[in-house]
Amino acid sequence: MKKSLFLAVAMLVSGGAFASTEHYVLRDGNHVHHLKVTKIGEDVSVTTDIDFEPNSGEQGSKACSASISDDAKQVGANELVVKKQIPSEAHYCTLSIHLSADGAKIDQSEECGYFAAGICHFDSDGKELVRVK
């Protein structure tokens, strides 16, 4: 019994050694982007959420928020791709995430408008989300 308990605890501790989570944030006026990348062994999951209040040039627009969370595929040394299927559709929202030592940039496919409408979008518009250290 003691061996089983020790083995279970040892597996939990060793598994935790291979897990990491990184957070990235961009505030652009009243627009806030947040990206969370979690790596557990070879598995990578991504959660990105946005909260937009209209900026001065967006009068008449409504505030919005959205999020996407799914497993990611590592397609390069510093690039992740997330494909989230639109419910009951054959289309996918694709996010390409380009990581650097200090931040991340996000590009979105046209279909992502299903998840984020109005002034909301997951694309970082070429700006870098800063890595939180």
Reported as a single tens digit per residue, the pLDDT across 43-74 is: 999 999 999 999 988 888 999 999 999 999 99
* Nearest-angstrom CA–CA distance, 20 and 80: 15
Give the residue with greater pLDDT, 128 vs 2.
128
Per-residue pLDDT, 87: 83
Q: Indicate if the pLDDT at residue 16 is higher than 70.
A: no
Per-residue pLDDT, 14: 54
Average the pLDDT over 8-26 and give the result. Answer: 73
Q: What is the pTM assigned to this prediction?
A: 0.83
* Nearest-angstrom CA–CA distance, 38 and 125: 23
> Under DSSP, is residue 113 helix (H, G, I), strand (E, B) or coil?
helix
